[in-house]
Amino acid sequence: MAEQKQFDWLNEKSKCVEGIKLPVGEDRKFELVHEEVSLHNLVRADGTTVTNKQGVESRMWTIPFRDVEANVKIKLDYFWNEKERVNPANPELESEIVKLSRKLGYEPVVDGDFAPADFLKPGMTIIAQLKEQPPNKNGRVYNTIDIDTVRLDGAGETEKQDPLDDVSEETVKEIQTIGKGCKKFSELTTKINKAKKYELLQGAMVLNEKGKLKFPM
């Protein structure tokens, strides 16, 4: 067995270099660190638990991604909510974690369950860009993943395929039947939800984005 070597630490020196700085606005590959995804309560520095106005302890999702090239972790944090806002007709009104789930191929629907375990899978890789967060209270600026740029790894190879190819004629007819009389897209999605035809929402969104829906219907 090799003997442990001792070094003179009093005279030890290393060269100081600039820390790793990842580029902003450039496509990079990230891997989900699945074993470190967590849902945890929030604890202050003094050890006390953070609670909301109703006295219920606050919980937070932490979803870490590892930059494959630089081997640096970027953590996404989202407050846990008993109810997550879902509004496919008005994406700006949706919860932040719901926006992420859609980028990862998940389609939450109104009155359905929202289960992160359904879209945070071991071995998942994404392509995304980084953006700068606003300075923190100490004036430091950190980078985070820009959710608007997220796509599943390999998605670029299929982007040339027209998404209308995945909307069947039967689906189009059913959407047109349900939407008869609707004056705008939000009315259509409301009717689809009331009819509990949630499987039609994605097709309706594709048709609307491609200008294939004419209002009033």
Cα separation, 114 vs 97, whole angstroms: 10
Q: Decide: 97 and 84 in contact? Cβ < 8 Å.
A: yes
Q: Are residues 106 and 36 in the same domain?
A: yes
Please spell the DSSP secondary structure of 111-168, one letter per residue.
TS---GGGT--TT-EEEE-EEEPPP-TTS---EEE-GGG-EETTGGGTTTS-GGGGS-
Q: Are residues 104 and 51 in the same domain?
A: yes
> Is 139 part of a structural domain of the chain?
yes
User: Which residues form the domain of 78?
Assistant: 25-156
Q: Are residues 83 and 168 in the same domain?
A: no
Cα separation, 172 vs 155, whole angstroms: 25
Q: Are residues 78 and 167 in the same domain?
A: no
The model's confidence at residue 114, banded by pLDDT at 50, 70 and 90, is very high
Q: Are residues 134 and 171 in the same domain?
A: no
Average confidence score pLDDT of the chain: 86
Cα separation, 74 vs 203, whole angstroms: 33
In tens, the pLDDT along 8-35 reads 888 888 888 666 678 898 999 999 999 9
CB atoms within 10 A of CB 49: 10
Q: Are residues 125 and 191 in the same domain?
A: no
Q: Taking residues 166-190, what's their average pLDDT?
A: 89
Q: Are residues 73 and 54 in the same domain?
A: yes
Q: Are residues 40 and 102 in the same domain?
A: yes
Q: Taking residues 173-178, what's their average pLDDT?
A: 92
> Is 214 part of a structural domain of the chain?
no
**pTM greater than the 0.85 cutoff:** no
Cα separation, 75 vs 32, whole angstroms: 10
- Report the largest interatomic distance among the alpha carbons of the chain, rounded to a whole angstrom: 84
Q: Decide: 84 and 59 in contact? Cβ < 8 Å.
A: no
First to last CA, the chain: 81
Q: Are residues 132 and 29 in the same domain?
A: yes
Q: Taking residues 164-186, what's their average pLDDT?
A: 87
Tell me how many domains the chain contains. Answer: 2
Q: Decide: 202 and 107 in contact? Cβ < 8 Å.
A: yes
